[in-house]
Amino acid sequence: MDIRQVRSFIAVAHALNFSRAAKQLNLSQPALSAQVKALESHLNAELLERNRRSVRLTTVGAAFLLDAEALLEQIRDIELRVASISSGDIGHLRIGFVASATLEIVPAIAVAFRRQYPRVSLDLKNLPTVGQVEALRNGTLDAGFVRMPLAEKGISVVLVHREPFAIVVAKSHPLAREKKLAVSQLAGEKFISYGRQWAPAFYESWTGICRNAGYMPNVVQETAEMSTALALVSAGLGVAIVPEGITRGHRGRVAVTTLRREKIQSEIGMASISDRQSPLLRHLMGIAKQVAQRRF
């Protein structure tokens, strides 16, 4: 059944005049008559009774008109929905994030995105950076907020957050009394660290601060969560260098020295597969950049 035939029938059914209906559809009258006849032939039913003076619906035609109008309404809904999906105004995004990004950056981006695109649902999942890379590659994630630097073939990363690193020591540690604690003073200390296996490039980044100070940190314990690392530091098991923002909920238990002069900073980026840039992802990236600009 050709949708053009259905539209032609509806026009005639309302006008009850082939000439007026043809003008409405910008068709010739013979062409319109041919479409209606083809529809009747397909349905094996007479939809219209016509003679030289009048056109009227048959009982079958009146019943079919209701179904035909409902069909066109459904088609219009489908067209609108497809257009919305194509433009990125409706849909679903699966987003990964490192736990340390949940304090500020991810909630701020999620709130801003939902405000602007309320018909897009977000599925947020806590994953380490390496887990997000794997999920992006196998298609179970659409985007991820990862620890930078990240250099993975086929994955593009846009910087969305930057902050200084900070030294963290237990309140009971002798260095906690230092007013201007320097990285060089940690040379003989035991370090607690976010695990190299979950974000190798990030591990190289923060240890680079120590290398610039003339030593390689002695990491005695790696953890899967930065909050766990801070808990171990507060218990006196070692010291740590972590992104400054992570320390904000722990300052009652640890002493924090922000490294504002260090060129090496902690960065979070939005990662996605380079050749899977859908309108939805471009919208998310735009919102992430807007939020980032307000924070830098």
Q: Are residues 289 and 152 in the same domain?
A: yes
Return the number of other C-beta atoms located less than 10 Å from residue 3's C-beta. 11
Q: 120 is written with which tokens?
A: 């897009």
Q: Are residues 222 and 183 in the same domain?
A: yes
Cα 223 to Cα 17: distance, rounded to the nearest angstrom: 79
Q: Are residues 212 and 228 in the same domain?
A: yes
Q: Are residues 147 and 275 in the same domain?
A: yes
Q: Are residues 149 and 284 in the same domain?
A: yes
- For residues 164-195, b (16+ Cβ closer than 10 Å) or e, as one string? ebbbbbbeebebbeeeebebebbeebebbbbb
Q: Are residues 15 and 77 in the same domain?
A: yes
Cα 189 to Cα 168: distance, rounded to the nearest angstrom: 12
Cα 105 to Cα 88: distance, rounded to the nearest angstrom: 22
Q: Which CATH number does the domain housing residue 70 bear?
A: 1.10.10.10
Q: Are residues 250 and 178 in the same domain?
A: yes
What is the count of structural domains for the chain?
A: 3
Q: Are residues 138 and 194 in the same domain?
A: no
Q: Are residues 258 and 289 in the same domain?
A: no
Print pLDDT tens along the chain (296 aa): 788 999 999 999 999 998 899 999 999 999 999 999 999 999 999 999 988 788 999 999 999 999 999 998 888 878 777 766 666 677 889 999 988 777 778 888 999 998 888 888 899 999 999 999 999 999 999 999 998 888 889 999 988 888 899 999 999 999 999 988 999 999 999 999 998 998 898 999 999 999 999 999 999 999 988 889 999 999 999 999 999 988 887 888 899 999 998 889 999 999 999 888 788 888 898 898 888 777 65
Q: Are residues 152 and 274 in the same domain?
A: yes
Q: Are residues 132 and 77 in the same domain?
A: no
Q: Which CATH number does the domain housing residue 248 bear?
A: 3.40.190.10
Tell me the residue range of the domain where 28 lies: 3-87
Q: Are residues 67 and 196 in the same domain?
A: no
